[in-house]
Structure 1
Amino acid sequence: MSSNFVFINDAFFQASQSAILVKDLSVQRGYGIFDFFKTVNNRPIFLDDHLDRFYYSAAQMHLQVSQSRAQLKEILKELMKLNNMPDSGIRITLTGGYSADGYNLAEQPNLIITQNSFSIHQHAIDKGIKLVTYNYQRQLSHIKTLDYLTAIWLQPLIKENAAEDVLYHNNGALRECPRANFFLVTANNEVLTAGDGILKGITRKNILSLPQTEIPIIEKEITLDELAGAKEAFITSTTKNIMPVTTIDGKSIGNGKLGPLTSKLQELLKIKAS
């Protein structure tokens, strides 16, 4: 039986004893938002950026967060103390709450915070990832919602194509992976990433804020056709940091290995997060 503690609404519970009712809109209609950050040696990474996005997502989804930012930080601090997991992933979920009719928003959302052991293995990241493309535009893409229906539905397609994840495009305009942002390195050593129709990730945000004198990074529309001339490609997320993309639709990107610009950005991000 798990000894982990979780937080629900206004109290801490052992994970094995925690629950919400089935009438919650997250169960009935998949309505809610979340954010996820990691801790390294008991230190939350980019916490304020994640909280910015959490409160933004909540507001965009018409969900009222009862706790202030300061109160939420105290809850997170106490949860980390109770669980004693130096390297972990913490997920903050805000559901649609207990709706009277299973459709309309409840007056009060349910806040759920969980923590699980988690560590990043750099050798696995450097090995890279294989992607397959799929024409799909996520709804409310600027909000970190609970909606991963298409991503999960596509898992058989991913396996059939000997890939490990999917890269969405909207009629040829590259977008993102279900849980990561996508970057492409051109023949001129420019790093490109989509600026619209995506969830703007926290790792992505911190890469974009790096000094442009180091490596030029540009937000612009990228097309499927541009993949053929890419020297490198990579994805970014809280769990993957910066991971090289080795193949897309069965075709190698560059030499199919970790490239020099991707490696350089990995080092710069590591310094920024330290």
Structure 2
Amino acid sequence: MNRPASRIVYVNGDYVPEDEAKVSVFDRGFLMADAVYEVTSVLDGRLIDFPGHAARLARSMAELDMESPVTEAELLAIHRELVARNGIDEGLVYLQITRGNPGDRDFAFPDPARVKGSVVLFTQSKPGLADSPAAKAGIKVIGIPDIRWGRRDIKTVQLLYPSMGKMMAKKAGVDDAWFTEEGGVVTEGTSNNAYIVTDGRIVTRQLSADILHGITRAAVLRFAREAQMVVEERPFTLDEAKAAEEAFVTSASAFVMPVVEIDGAAIGTGRPGPVATRLREIYLEESRRAAM
């Protein structure tokens, strides 16, 4: 696709060059992190699992008593328009909805009848997203304490600690971090869901308020079961992960990404294993087939 000289972004009804995009300093997303977001991957110029992302967005907003200023159909049209205008073949569409601009700073929620939420979307071009070198080599992670708030199932823009986790990993010379609770129990990665393969079974933490209800997670587990793989949804510890045959993570932008080292300990052979490799192949194949 042909890309414009300046990236075009969407802000509250307008498609504008990115250097002209503006949001009020009084917007609650800026002042209070009072906002939710989604990231949808684009492969071959088409959206991957958009209905799942739209459904989770609606759930996040409902959990926060936030009214949506746009319909799902309108969001789909905006996503497609941005992909077309920016010539995205492989990449991402980022969507953020805030509780809006009440005109001043106040802890109390503004009246939704008076204050409409802010809607911002932009694209990120990521050539080679599906054919990632990291997926062939695998990534390395460290374990860090999970000190986030208790509603991790709501996809809010409160990403300071996950960002700190990414920086802890970078400082340690690895790629990412897995959050752990008391006893070394793994919750999830900084921006992904975590899995291990032990005794041939895929193990991942069950859904609750403790983890994000990953859209890619749901698809991968469905494909795994359809492929006659055994799935166990339960907690697992970092020590169990280090002794596992394989480990991997899933997310909208990484798809299925093998983990080959945890806290310096090689996982399995220290190379991407057959389960994660096959799941990535299945996910990409099936997602491309159903893309919008």
TM-score over 0.5 for the pair:
yes
Unmatched 5+ stretches in structure 2: none
CA contact (8 A) 2:37 2:95 kept: yes
Q: In the alignment, which residue of structure 2 is the partner of 1:104?
A: 108
Deviations 1:221-266 (A, max 9, x none): 1122312320000011111111111111111111110111111111
- Aligned-pair CA distance for 1:2: 5.6
* Residue identity (%): 25
Q: For 1:13 and 1:111, how far apart are their aligned partners in 2?
A: 13
Number of aligned positions between the proteins = 273
1:225-236 equivalences under 5 Å are 225-236=239-250
1:199-238 equivalences under 5 Å are 199-210=212-223, 212=225, 213-238=227-252
CA contact (8 A) 1:169 1:175 kept: yes
Deviations 1:80-111 (A, max 9, x none): 23222222210110113113333222332101
What secondary structure does 1:175 align onto? strand
Q: For 1:101 and 1:16, how far apart are their aligned partners in 2?
A: 26
Q: For 1:2 and 1:127, how far apart are their aligned partners in 2?
A: 34
- Aligned-pair CA distance for 1:141: 0.5
The farther-off stretch of 114-123 and 90-99 is 114-123
1:177-196 equivalences under 5 Å are 177-186=189-198, 188-195=199-206, 196=208
CA contact (8 A) 1:29 1:102 kept: no
The verdict on how the C-alpha distance between 1:224 and 1:68 changes in structure 2, with shifts beyond 3 A counting, is same
Deviations 1:110-134 (A, max 9, x none): 0101112123133222211111101
Give the counterpart letter for 1:76 in structure 2.
H
The verdict on how the C-alpha distance between 1:216 and 1:244 changes in structure 2, with shifts beyond 3 A counting, is same
Q: In the alignment, which residue of structure 2 is the partner of 1:27?
A: 30
Q: For 2:200 and 2:194, how far apart are their aligned partners in 1?
A: 16
Q: In the alignment, which residue of structure 2 is the partner of 1:132?
A: 142
The verdict on how the C-alpha distance between 1:24 and 1:246 changes in structure 2, with shifts beyond 3 A counting, is same
Q: For 2:79 and 2:176, how far apart are their aligned partners in 1?
A: 31
RMSD over equivalenced CA pairs, Å: 1.8
What secondary structure does 1:3 align onto? coil
Deviations 1:112-171 (A, max 9, x none): 011121231332222111111012153210011101111222345323432221100111
Unmatched 5+ stretches in structure 1: none
CA contact (8 A) 2:224 2:231 kept: no
The verdict on how the C-alpha distance between 1:270 and 1:93 changes in structure 2, with shifts beyond 3 A counting, is same
What secondary structure does 1:126 align onto? helix
Give the counterpart letter for 1:64 in structure 2.
E
- Aligned-pair CA distance for 1:31: 1.8
The verdict on how the C-alpha distance between 1:134 and 1:26 changes in structure 2, with shifts beyond 3 A counting, is same
What secondary structure does 1:77 align onto? helix
What secondary structure does 2:218 align onto? helix
2:84 to 56, 66, 81: 81
The verdict on how the C-alpha distance between 1:113 and 1:228 changes in structure 2, with shifts beyond 3 A counting, is closer
What secondary structure does 2:68 align onto? coil
1:52-201 equivalences under 5 Å are 52-99=55-102, 100-106=104-110, 107-119=115-127, 120=129, 121-139=131-149, 140-171=151-182, 172-186=184-198, 188-195=199-206, 196=208, 197-201=210-214
Q: In the alignment, which residue of structure 2 is the partner of 1:259?
A: 273
Q: TM-score, normalised by structure 1?
A: 0.93
Give the counterpart letter for 1:113 in structure 2.
L
4+ residue segments displaced more than 4 Å: none
